[in-house]
Structure 1
Amino acid sequence: MPDPVKGRLERNAARSGEKPAALAVRLIDEGLRMADHPGVVFHDSSTHGRVASLTGGPDVAEVIRVLTGLESRGEDRVAETAAWLGIHPARVRVALAYYTEHRDEIDTQIQRREHEAEELRRRHEEQQALLG
């Protein structure tokens, strides 16, 4: 590995708390996923960890959550998801293609988000009950 690349890897590993080898594997994996799915990028989320998202947003999990929550079918479902999210239908298809190859990852993120939303609702209801 060229010294400048090795130096950047070590600095990034120190900043993220990852071991350099683990960071290198993650970056290679994400790079290959982005090559396989143009339009998908990865970012750190303060609440959801490392997530796949469409370039400029939204996260792939959010697209799939909306898509699977609709009753329409086929291209109507794609168009309706795009309308709900304010994105082009082609971007919904990018998220759908990523999802079909990484279903477990995205399903886990959706479940985590639903659990977090339920917890926030519960806390809000408790606070409102205390306020009378």
Structure 2
Amino acid sequence: MPSPTSIRFDEPVIDRLSSYVARHPGLTRSAVAARYVDEGLRMEEHPGILFRDGPTGRRATVVGGPDVWEIVRTLKAARASEPDLSEDELLTMLDDNTGAPRRMVRAALEYWGAYPQEVDALIAHAERAEAEGAAAADRAASLLHP
């Protein structure tokens, strides 16, 4: 259970916070403030990382690039398929195949190293969604083909 903490905000910040909460039913000022403080501290700890909303909720992304989970998932798959590649060869392969430069990969890896459960949960969610989509497509195709 979180512990209560008293924080004093300037009036313009309170106004923006209240406006944000009014536009997002179900959120409280306390929850929004806690989320943004946490994200701000994470961005400070991990330069090159920011947070954005999307279909799977709020998640860490690399500035100017994809979501952290996407980079980590691709790197895990590349390592699994090419277990003998050196770090340099692996990073070069990733850059060649995805366009993700080393700085993005390193930022994503450092974030994943600090928050592996969060990133791995997003990877697992994506894999489940892909499997469910493939199964649905197979079912639909089975009606069209004997």
Q: In the aligned structure 2, how far is the partner of 1:59 from the partner of 1:75?
A: 22
User: Cα–Cα, structure 1 residues 73 and 108, in superposed 2: closer, same or farther, change >3 Å?
Assistant: farther
Q: Which amino acid aligns with 1:30?
A: E
Pick the aligned partner of 1:13 from 8, 13, 21.
Answer: 21
Please provide the CA RMSD for this pair. 1.2
Which structure has the larger Rg? 2
Q: How many residues align?
A: 131
Structure 2 residue 72 is matched with structure 1 residue 45: no
Gaps in structure 1 of 5+ consecutive residues = none
Q: In the aligned structure 1, how far is the partner of 2:23 from the partner of 2:139?
A: 38
Q: What SS does the aligned partner of 1:49 have?
A: coil
Q: In the aligned structure 2, how far is the partner of 1:14 from the partner of 1:122?
A: 40
Aligned counterpart, 2:123: 110
Q: What SS does the aligned partner of 1:58 have?
A: coil
**Overall identity of the aligned pairs, in %:** 34
Instruction: Tell me the TM-score normalized by structure 2.
Output: 0.85
Gaps in structure 2 of 5+ consecutive residues = 1-8
Pick the aligned partner of 2:41 from 14, 17, 32.
Answer: 32
Q: Which amino acid aligns with 1:13?
A: V
Cα shift at 1:32: 0.8
4+ runs deviating over 4 angstroms: none
Report which of the two has the higher share of helix.
1
Deviations 1:75-100 (A, max 9, x none): 22222222222121111011101110
Q: What SS does the aligned partner of 1:90 have?
A: helix
Structure 2 residue 93 is matched with structure 1 residue 91: no
Cα shift at 1:127: 1.0
